[in-house]
Amino acid sequence: MTVALPDRMVFNAVDEHILRTLLYYDIFHYPLKADEVHRFLGAPLEHEDYIYSRLRVLAAHRYISQFGDFFGIQPGESDTVRRAKGNAEAERLTVLARKKAHLIGSFPFVRGVMASGSLSKGYMDEKSDLDFFIVTAPGRLWIARTLLVMYKRIFLFNSHKYFCVNYFVDEQHLEIEEKNLFTATELATALPLYGPEQYQNLLKANPWLTNFFPNFRPRTTEDVLPSKQRGLKKILEAFFNLAPFSRLDHHFKKMTLQRWEKLYRRDYSDADFKVAFKTKDHASKNHPRNYQRKVLDLYADKVKAFGLSPLRSCAEEPGK
């Protein structure tokens, strides 16, 4: 099927997917290279060369802009300049993120640590935090989370800048419940920093990812330190596993939920609160700005304004 605009070029199916990919990243003012468009394309395509040729055609017809190796929606070069600066900062901060991940990995019941958010996309600026996605031992997620939050509040004066621990799952519940373009992008870009087996297990537990990104390839884990339970970490885990602490995980979960409800409940609908402040035995998410909803709404608006159909393919409805 093709979509025609009056007196302009006719889009083929790949063109539409290219435009949708660029529109999503336009939300973040982030132009893409041809290989990145291929990686996040919503259609299977074996050869990247075809992507590049279609990008050139779309640029020639002024649907998109090209500046060097970068392609984007905006006509000016400012986003490309911004990206180059942000890429350099991300490369610098990746070293720090690895150190922070190893520190997080030394805490009781932490089994895997991945970078998410801006760093996982290869971009950082003065407004960016180091966001971490953490995998814990089953039944001890809230103990692990509480210890990390206490460390942040006491030793980092509650600064989120380089220690934002806002998403936890346990190793027996690695499937991401919300399956949409936002969560697929976060999953596809997750950067393993500690516990390579947990990163690999995370991808295995979420095969729906390829509904959105059929050309996805996992990141390498060759240089990622394996998860270990030894020394003080092993002693503390044994301590918190003693019978007197059997209800401690549930207590921390309840205490955290009460705090979140007091601070944020009035600002959200029931459905949005459950997504932004996920509070389950096996999962915890704390996103006060409900970034997922904002991004998906902005994306829908951009797609509509560009004249494309609301759904980019059956990938928007996994399982169909």
Task: Report the CATH number at residue 42.
Answer: 1.10.10.10
Containing 89, the helix (H) or strand (E) segment is helix 78-105
Confirm whether 184 is domain-assigned.
Answer: yes
Residue 86 inside a domain? The answer is: no
Average pLDDT over residues 251-268: 96
Looking at the fold, whether 305 and 272 belong to one and the same domain comes out as no
Mean pLDDT over 35-49 rounds to: 94
Any domain includes 82: no
pLDDT value for 312: 46
Query: What's the pLDDT band for 311 if we cut at 50, 70, 90?
Result: low
pLDDT-based confidence at residue 317 (cuts at 50, 70, 90): very low
Note down the domain range covering 13.
3-76+296-316
Q: Give a yes or no: residue 88 inside a domain.
A: no
The 10 Å Cβ neighbour count of residue 306 is 15
- Verify that 254 and 146 share a domain, yes or no: yes
Looking at the domain assignment, is residue 306 inside a domain? yes
Tally of domains in the chain = 2
| pLDDT of 46 | 85
Task: Give the separation between CA 187 and CA 68, rounded to whole angstroms.
Answer: 28
Assigned domain for 143 exists? yes
